[in-house]
Amino acid sequence: MEEEILMNKKRFLAFNSSNLKEALKSIGISVDINNGKVIIRGDAVNVMLAKEVITAFNRGFDEDASKLLLNEDYFLEIILLDSYTKNKKRMIKLKGRIIGRDGSIKAKIERTTNTKISVFGKTISIIGKYDEVDKAKRIINKILSGKSLSVAFGSINYG
């Protein structure tokens, strides 16, 4: 099976110099890089796994966080900010609510849910085990919907 993934320009340069290619080769994936595209080849299951790893890296995660997805217990969830607003200024404010001053809110969500979070472009992405990703997603959705932080963080205790 073969998949072609278009990379963000900045992330493409980082990917090209990263160790992710070696990690993907270790699971039997051949990786070709050409004009901002990553082409991966291998058996269907590993190609889909590799695609998740590359997508995570492309969404702003570092190598180590992206490689977590090589473990079948870990998942990637991508929240599209344009489902909350089309207004560019509002989108910046929403990203700021998730990040918090000096990254404090993002760090608190990561600590509370044992996940990794990336706020990149028009997305908020989460890597973690299924239940942890679900908790982080609920907190983030509440914050993006305008709920207070105490309500958002309280939502993981009460569903």
The C-alpha atoms of residue 16 and residue 45 are separated, in whole angstroms, by 23
What domains are there in the chain, each with its CATH number?
2-70 (3.30.1370.10), 74-158 (3.30.1370.10)
Which of 71, 76, 83 minimizes the C-alpha distance to 126?
A: 76
Give DSSP secondary structure letters for 78-90: EEEGGGT-S-HHH
The C-alpha atoms of residue 22 and residue 144 are separated, in whole angstroms, by 37
- At residue 35, the pLDDT reads 82
Would you give the DSSP letter of residue 100?
Answer: -
What are phi and psi for residue 127, nearest 5 degrees? -120, 135
Band of pLDDT at residue 127, cut at 50, 70 and 90: very high
- Does residue 31 have a pLDDT over 70? yes
